[in-house]
Structure 1
Amino acid sequence: MFKKKSLLLLIFVSLFMFLVACGGDDDASSGTDNGSDSSSDDSGSEDMSNDPITYHYFVGASGDDIHTNETTIGGMLEDETGVNFQMEYLVGDLMEKLGVMVAGGQYPDVVVPDHGIEMMMDAEAFIPLNDLLEEHGQNILAMYSDYLDRITMPDGNIYYLPFGPTINEYVPNPNIDQGAFWIQRGVLKDAGFPEINTLDEYLALIKDYADENPEIDGMNTVPFTGLTYDTSFFTFSNTPNHLAGYPNDGSVQIDMDTHEASVYADSDATKAYLKALNELNNDGYLDQEMFVMNNDDFLAKISSGRVLGFFGYGWQWGTARTSLEEAGNPDQEFMALPVVLEEGIKDQYLDPPSFTQNRGAGITVSAENPERIIQYWDELIQEDMQKLVMWGEEGVHYSVDEDGRFYRTAEQVELSADQDVRKDLGMTVFEWNWPRLNGSFSDGNAVESRRQPEVAKETYRDSDREYLEAYNIDTFSGLFSQPEERPWYPAWSANVEQGSDVALFATRAEELQKRYYPQIVLSDPASFDAEWDKFVNEYRSLDVDTYEEFFTNTVEARLDGDWQYR
């Protein structure tokens, strides 16, 4: 049984908002049923009421508030179930928002708490779903069948549904949506499309181009920048891990032979990367705003067309990518490169098949008639609905060839990329933060249209094909090594107990990295080693052994089939 933790700290954090929280939200009250009495004593009956009812659905991430029945898909689901959801997305700090909920004991009916899931679990804010799934969620159980052991807690209950269980066959992404060193395409063209493997080669190419082009479109050229702001700091601190040939397992690297976990914050790879940036800074090639700009500033800078290179995850800068495409200069768009520290290191940027079980949607103790939420989810998870969410309408947003393969014409690619079209249909609402699938449908087509090779190739313009042909690849992921099998992946999804020694180490280690890394990078080169040594000494004064032992045990447990190691 989950242990109920003391809420004193949460109350302290949110004390000034406590009275408001206790009062609840009249506009988003649990199970608002628009004048009809939807309460039922026989919630397990097969003829469940379809009377109209609106639930409050909170997502701990940014988005546009909306009612699901304002979309085509949401309207269809409401016709089938009588259920509508008032969607509320995060504004402000997530942990503070969740702390207010917990302190007041008042919750939206459904909460997607992102990395705050442990806070919700510790507060016993979610109800067990086992019986509800058995009675009303057979489609959910079928789709999640291979993962039920991973989402069943030590007390035998399922409290939330993660997103994206892989069904049938895993389909890799033809394009790069995860980590990479990005480079402005024109830099590659200017140099004759060279093969770039190492960090030294990558940075040398950028410096040469910057020397020849100190300005771009009348603005000062930014040779290299990065994303370091607030919760995005992991983007910067993760980079040495990728340079060393590891995928994103979090703050640890897992030895492929021994399966032992080791931190890399003070590794030789990290020192080498910070040293390279220190030299860039000393020579005038590093963005002077790299450690002070926020996420919006970063996106605006990338969109400007004057940045030559950066490390980042593809999903982090999609709006900037769109802006560059719309600007009409393909050579100012970016191409992903699998850069490593030195020759002989095999890149592992591409994610292996994975299932992140410590994120998901839970039904809270405030929800009335929770069976109706399960009924809705059970309709949504079916293949025909998932095809509508991920692909749109057949004949409108995609076509089917004589072999049953889904594809898109040029017109359908353009239509499906229209954000207003996607929003009206319901794609933007339902494609994440709900029970949903990954992998492939029973007919062999990819669940996500972006992973279908036929679709990816149709989205390529002549300017894209120029670079694909220059590097003799069919898709942009063709430069990257295939991922090695890691059955535990990703290690960072382990359930770390709030307030534990492991959690305490993670917090203090990040604080040290945020304080020292910029200081090390921006220091006088003569002081680099001294600054680095100060960081290492403080970092090693923390309980590194306990942290590494926890993740080693997590990996071993997962290899043994136990995905709820705590």
Structure 2
Amino acid sequence: MKYKKMLVSSLFIAAALLTACSSGNGGDEKADKDKVTTLTFFNADLAEDDKFENPVAKEITKQTGVKLEISHPVGGDTQAVPLMIASGDYPDIIFGKGDLGKLIDAGAVVALDDMIEEKGDNLKKMYGENLSRLKNSLSDPQIYHVGTAGVENVTNVTSGTFQIQLDVLKELGYPEINTLEEFEQALKDYKEKYPEIDGQETLGLSLLGSDWRWLITVGNPSGFAAGYQDDGQWIVDDKTGETIYKFQDEKVKEYFKWLNKINDEGLIDPESFTQKYDTYIAKLSSGRVLSVADQDWDISDAVASLKGEGKDWRTYAPLPVTLNSDILSPSTRNYGFTGTTGVSISSTTKHQDRAFEFLDWMASEEAQILLNWGLEGINYEIKDGKRVATDLDQAQTDPQYTLKTGVGQYVWPFPQLGNGAVDSTGNPISRSASRELIVDSYTDAEKEVLSNYDKELWVDFFPNPEDSEIPSHGRAYEIAIPSSSDLSVLQQRADDYVTQAITDIILAKPSEFDTKWKAMQTKLEEMDIEKANKEMTGLVQDRIELWSNK
């Protein structure tokens, strides 16, 4: 049954992609008449339809003469890019994310080096010496994409951390919470005091383990709790490049042992591994979920709903929670520029020059201000020479703000100056660039909690990013895996397996934990995980060497 559903989903995507590509050609005929070129664009990270008709999108078209016709995966399906490759029919521009290597090997995207050199003034200015970090590999040192990460970054916000309700902190007298044990105790104390919230059962920690978000609410937090930076499914020794599959690590094991324990104690939402995304967001929006371990962008709709209903104290505080006090949270680590995935131009497009000119314009200062701030007089104004947002209330309380206005909608996955960059007038490119701007966006509840901890920003709870070295390999999950390698298949099999195995381990009786964990390790060895480790180590070491050659 699962296979049939995947097949139907895949066929649906294939049809959608063919329609998108063919409609792009039809749009070109119309473009000649209207002097607007329609470029078809596949965005692997987009989860909802975007008609490219919001105010920012219209301004982009006005400035560039380009309208994007955007397609995206349906229901989190991962077969969209492989289906493109199988059909040989591609949109004009593609964000293939982790499948970039497959697109390169299939000859589906063009090398951009010559175009960047000849007419990529904005891109050259944006990236500077970081252009070398866009190169594909040691054996093929060409540039096939631009984006996605910012070039100049400051860490004034966190994401993907353990988060707990503001009311929990207030009610418990603002306790120090830095370890899993302290986090657990806070949940127990508050839940015991308030077994219900607004007439519904209080839930300690809710996860979303029924779809791909298992990776960000179950898998990734295990590495963060153990103090490992975000390398996806890998743990990397940045000095040697030695890499292992994350779920073989002993400290990661300790995190899941903790989840197993608190599940047995009734602190984990019993629907965590069966609920759908809408149900998860609805629970968070109700205010009865005390904590999450998730990315901010994944719960943003719930947070906006809570604020819109005046439930500011039910929103969340990010905390640097780790296994023990000897481990530092990696959430504020400065990775440097790691734009090793991004937007590419297809080899079949009839508008190669137009597509490149569009991408180069997206790297301009004018575009970066528009993408990050929106329209002057509508989304921001200039006061005493400073750019000031005028729509903060809408931005904080409307879950559809980004899609409706376009503000922030097209920053990712296109070229980004980064939230640490300033424009030619000295104003920040990003709304999250300065501490002052972030403080202005906080609710009174957030400010009260921070004041009681003698902090100004949430990031002040975390290690100073200047105290850690920039990793020489960037982030392992961004490395394009060659199609000639067995690594993609090996990792996918392992990921599919551990998703189910670890779910079973978390839900098991504590007395069964060690036996089940050992059985999982044996199975991973049988699945040739050591071969995957060896191949990933080679790719990481190649990356380190490639980036060291400016």
| TM-score bracket for the superposition, by shorter chain length | 0.7 to 0.9
In the alignment, which residue of structure 1 is the partner of 2:145? 160
- 1:3 is matched with none
SS of equivalent to 1:85: strand
Q: Distance in 1 between matches of 2:19 and 2:358?
A: 28
Instruction: Report the equivalent of 1:55.
Output: 39
Alpha-carbon distance between aligned partners in 1 of 2:438 and 2:486, rounded to the nearest angstrom: 45
| Greater Rg by CA | 1
Distance in 2 separating the partners of 1:19 and 1:222:
42
Give the distance between the partners of 2:230 and 2:306, measured in 1 at CA.
27
Shift of 1:468: 0.6
Alignment partner of 1:506: what SS?
A: helix
**Stretch of structure 1 that moved more, 464-473 or 94-103:** 94-103
Q: What CA distance in whole angstroms lies between the structure 1 residues aligned with 2:7 and 2:439? A: 53
In structure 2, what is the equivalent of residue 373 of structure 1? 355
* Equivalent pair of 2:240/2:541 in contact (CA under 8 Å): no
Secondary structure in 1 matching 2:183: helix
Q: Deviations along 1:347-393, whole A, 9 cap, x unmatched?
A: 21224134444421111123113111222222222112211221234
The root-mean-square deviation of aligned C-alpha atoms, in Å, is 3.1
- Return the alpha-carbon distance in structure 2 between the equivalents of residues 221 and 419 of structure 1: 24
Task: State the match for 1:414 in structure 2.
Answer: 393
Shift of 1:421: 6.9
Give the Cα–Cα distance (whole angstroms) in 2 for the partners of residues 81 and 105 of structure 1. 28
Question: 2:3 maps to what in 1?
Answer: none
Identify which of 112, 120, 124 aligns with 1:141: 124
Q: In the TM superposition, what is the alpha-carbon distance from 1:423 to its structure 2 partner?
A: 4.7
Q: What is the DSSP-based 3-state SS (H/G/I as helix, E as strand, rest coil) of the residue aligned with 1:84?
A: strand
Q: Aligned partners of 1:35, 1:547: CA distance in 2, in Å?
A: 48
- Judged with a 3 Å threshold, the aligned counterparts in structure 2 of structure 1 residues 74 and 249 are, in CA distance, closer, same or farther, namely same
Superposed, which structure 2 residues align to 1:158-557 within 5 Å? 158-167=143-152, 170-173=153-156, 175-176=157-158, 178-235=159-216, 236-255=218-237, 258-394=240-376, 396-400=378-382, 402=384, 404-408=385-389, 411-414=390-393, 423=403, 426-438=406-418, 439-443=420-424, 444-483=426-465, 484-485=468-469, 486-498=471-483, 500-557=485-542
Could you say which residue in structure 2 is the equivalent of 1:562?
Answer: 547
**Closer, same or farther: CA 396–83 of 1 in aligned 2, 3 Å:** closer
In structure 2, the CA distance between the partners of 1:496 and 1:150, relative to structure 1 (3 Å rule), is: same
Contact 1:136 1:371 in 2 (8 A): no
Residue 68 of structure 2 aligns to a residue whose secondary structure is: strand
- CA drift at 1:307: 0.8
User: CA 1:308–1:20 in 2, change beyond 3 Å: closer, same or farther?
Assistant: closer
1:435-470 CA-to-partner distances (Å, cap 9, x unmatched) read 332130244543221232121111122211110101
For the residue of structure 2 that corresponds to 1:189, the secondary structure is helix
**Alignment partner of 1:32 out of 17, 28, 31:** 28
C-alpha deviation, 1:198, in angstroms: 1.0
Alpha-carbon spacing, 1:551–1:85, altered in 2? closer, same or farther (3 Å): same
Q: Using the alignment, how far apart are the partners of 1:12 and 1:498 within structure 2?
A: 25
Task: Report deviation, 1:80.
Answer: 4.4
Whole-angstrom CA distance in 2 between matches of 1:93 and 1:421: 22
Q: Give the CA deviation at 1:430.
A: 2.2
Q: Report the 3-state secondary structure (helix = DSSP H, G, I; strand = E; otherwise coil) of the residue aligned with 2:79.
A: helix
Equivalent runs, 1:36-185 vs 2, <5 Å:
36=32, 51-66=35-50, 68=52, 70-153=53-136, 154-167=139-152, 170-173=153-156, 175-176=157-158, 178-185=159-166
Counterpart of 1:187 in structure 2: which amino acid? V
Q: How many residues align?
A: 535
Displacement of 1:73 in angstroms is: 4.2
Describe the superposition over 1:130-171 as per-residue Cα deviations: whole angstroms up to 9, x where unpaired. Answer: 33333332212221222222223343432222223414xx32
Shift of 1:414: 2.6
CA 1:499–1:563: 2 relative to 1, 3 Å: farther
Read off the aligned partner of 2:37 and give its amino acid letter.
Answer: I
Contact 2:206 2:268 (8 Å CA) reproduced = yes
Q: Contact conserved, 2:148 with 2:415, CA < 8 A, in 1?
A: yes
Specify whether residues 89 and 261 from structure 1 end up closer, same or farther in structure 2 by C-alpha distance, changes over 3 A only: closer
What's 1:40 paired with? none
Q: Kindly state the Cα deviation for residue 123 of structure 1 after the two structures are TM-superposed.
A: 2.0
Q: Which residue identity lines up with residue 297 of structure 2 in the other structure?
A: W
Contact residue 304 and residue 399 of structure 2 kept, 8 A: no
Q: Secondary structure at the match of 1:450?
A: coil
Task: Using the TM superposition, give the Cα deviation of residue 563 of structure 1 relative to its aligned residue in structure 2, in angstroms.
Answer: 7.7
Match of 1:5 in 2: none
Contact 1:330 1:463 in 2 (8 A): yes
Pick closer, same or farther for the CA change 1:223–1:66 going to 2, 3 Å. Answer: closer
- Unpaired segments ≥5 residues, structure 1: 1-9, 38-49
* Deviation, structure 1 residue 555: 4.1
- Which residue type is aligned with residue 450 of structure 1? S
- Structure 1 residue 222, shift from structure 2 partner: 0.9
Q: Secondary structure at the match of 2:29?
A: coil
Give, as a single letter, the amino acid of the residue that structure 2 aligns with 1:159: Y
Offset of residue 200 of structure 1: 0.8
Q: Secondary structure at the match of 2:206?
A: strand
Q: Deviations over 1:463-521 (max 9, x none)?
A: 11110101111111110112312232212211222362322331222122112112111
Kept after mapping to 1: 8 A contact 2:494/2:529:
no
Separation in structure 2 between the aligned mates of residue 35 and residue 234 of structure 1, nearest angstrom? 42
CA shift digits 1:320-351 (9 cap, x unpaired): 11111112122211111111111221221224
Contact 2:21 2:90 in 1 (8 A): no
Q: Which amino acid aligns with 2:443?
A: R
Q: What's the counterpart of residue 7 of structure 1?
A: none
Distance 2:15 2:38 in 1: 25
SS at match of 2:247: coil
Question: TM-score under structure 1 normalisation?
Answer: 0.85
Q: 1: CA distance between counterparts of 2:263 and 2:251? A: 18
Q: Which amino acid aligns with 1:521?
A: I
Q: 1:165/1:210 Cα in 2 relative to 1: closer, same or farther (>3 Å)?
A: closer
Name the SS for the 1:449 alignment partner: coil
